[in-house]
Structures are given as structure tokens and as C-alpha cells.
Structure 1
Amino acid sequence: MGDAEQKENAGGVDSLIADIQKRITDAFEIFDNESNQTVDVREISTIIRSLGCVPSEAELQDILAEIEEEEPTGYIRFEKFLPMMTKTLMERKYKPQPEDMILKAFHVLDQEGKGFLLAEELTKYMMEEGEPFTQEEMDEMLSAAVDPDKGTVLYKDYASQMTIDEL
């Protein structure tokens, strides 16, 4: 590979990193209410998810442990968040499941093969199995997933809403 090719490849990586860092900065600034390069630690999961990452609760705790101050202040500083999140996005960690995997999960829950789940069924599964959803998370999910006329979740439609297009 010649010098020109190496420079071009390096330029592509630099450009990708610059794009990623701009996305991270923009997302962080939305929650930096006091414009002082910090956000409330409780907002970090929202920022991370807005960037297309869906870590589990345990993974989220690991992230927070990595970027929190030694003496926790309740705030996360941008200078600690940016390098960790840049690395996370470059390594494509915590990516959401593809649509076909989400559909398979719904098929397992829909044992009768009806093509839908009742809101009550979905609530039971999501709040009692695995990493249980909180009531607030469940309400948010149902507001997006449930057909208001029938009270059902047509999961084929909902699975496509749950996937995030690659940037």
C-alpha cells in the first residue's frame, strides 16, 4: 500500500471518529442543562441509547463505574464520557438485535401463533422475566407498541420499529 493510500485510509478513520465524536457531543449537550460539560448520572443511559447502543443494566453499571468520579458527585463529566463512548461506538458494542432476532423472541412468546400479543401478556413477560422492566419503561414501551383500538401488540410491525438503522 502506497503512502497516498495509507493517508486516504487514515483520513477515512479520522473522518469517522470526527463524525462519531460530533454525534456524542450533540447528544451530551442536550442533557448538559447548565452548559458546564456535565450531565446528571441518571441521564447517561438515555444518552447512550440515543446513540444506538442498548447495553443491559449490568453493562450500564460497568460503563458508569468506568466514567464516574472516584468520589461520586451524581454528575458525569464530558471529558470522561467522550473517549469511553467513542471507543464503544468504534467497536460497535451494545448493538441492538436485528429484526429477525426480535421477531423470533416474539414468536416464542406467542405460543399459539396468533401474530400478536395482548398488552397484559407482554407486560407480564417484560416485568417478570430476565432483566425486568420498570413500570415507567413498560408504559413507554406499551405507548409505542400497543394498537389502541384492539389492546394488542402486532409484533411484526413493532419489531421493525425496535430496530435502529445503521448510520
Structure 2
Amino acid sequence: MADKSNAESIITETQKRISNAFDVFDHESNKTVDVREIGTIIRSLGCFPSEAELHDIIAELEDEEPTGFVRYEKFLPTMTKILLERKFRPITEDLLLQAFEVLDQQKKGHLEPEELTKYLTQEGEPFTQEEIDEMLSAAVDPDKNVILYKDFVSMMTFDDTR
């Protein structure tokens, strides 16, 4: 019996977190949010799906006739399941650091902004110019004009204590 009440408690707490995150973006207080905010809400809950995975989630959440909005009653069960299954967990700091070290072939401890831009636009799922500009504004050391990736990785990793 204790296991059942513990599970119910976990579900209740999880749903409170989801509700609170959803409410931040429910600007009209009508239990709907703009579909463009879904990724932000999901990430605020500690889940980090790829863009393709995010598009799949949104397709599941939208009504048959997309309105540009997602209703809370559709979001809650989907997001509860995602959180309870611990899907889309963040990449560890060590793994991110290893990725930057692979890109830093000369082992300088930093990357030039142009180098990172090249990788982000020519390899894998390309970043938009807006995404690159946003990343570089946070990543580039203003004094040295390089990306000190150890510092950047520390800054951008998520503390997954839940």
C-alpha cells in the first residue's frame, strides 16, 4: 500500500510541476499556450528533445485542425508520461566536453567563433542564424573573442537533481 501512495505522490508532484510550467505561458488564463512555447515549457521541466522529437510531440498535442495553440488537457497526460519515463534527459557535462574536445583538434582549450559556426551550419541538423547568434552571444569570451568551451559547458549544462 505504501508503494501505491508513493507512486500517487510522485504523479501528483509531477503534475503540479507541469501545471506550474504551463501556467507561466498561459497568457490568456484559458488553459492554452501558443504552440511555439511548447519547447520552452518542456525544456523548463528538464527534458531536452531534439527538434525532430519536439515536432513529433507537438504533432501529438495539436488538435486534428491545428490552431496554433495546445490545450492543457492534452499537454498534461503527454508530459506526465514523458517525465515519469525520464525521456529526453540532458546530455552530461562530460559528454559535452568530450564533443568540444573532438572539435578542438589542436587541443588549444578553445574554439574560434567561426569554427563553431562552421560546425553548426555544415554538420548534422543545421542551426539557424538566430540560434547561432544566440549561442555565440553566450559562448564567446568578450575579452579573448574565443569560446572557452570548458566554461561554456559548465554554464549550459542542466543540474539534473530531480
- Name the TM-score class by shorter chain: over 0.9
Q: Deviations over 1:42-100 (max 9, x none)?
A: 11111111111111111111101111100111100000001100100111111111111
The Cα shift of 1:128 comes to 2.1
Structure 2: tracts of 5 or more residues without a match: none
How much identity, in percent, do the aligned residues show? 65
Query: Which residue number in structure 2 is paired with residue 27 of structure 1?
Result: 21
Measure, in 2, the Cα distance between the counterparts of 1:142 and 1:15: 42
Aligned pair 1:95/2:89, yes or no?
yes
Q: Deviations over 1:96-138 (max 9, x none)?
A: 1111110111011101000111122112211221111112222
The residue correspondences of 1:25-64 to structure 2 (distance < 5 A) are 25-64=19-58
Match of residue 74, structure 1, among 68, 71, 74: 68
Measure, in 1, the Cα distance between the counterparts of 2:13 and 2:66: 30
Measure, in 1, the Cα distance between the counterparts of 2:138 and 2:11: 33
The Cα shift of 1:144 comes to 1.9
The number of equivalent residue pairs is 161
Match of residue 111, structure 1, among 100, 105, 111: 105
Query: Which residue number in structure 1 is paired with residue 114 of structure 2?
Result: 120
Match of residue 144, structure 2, among 143, 150, 153: 150
Measure, in 2, the Cα distance between the counterparts of 1:142 and 1:11: 47
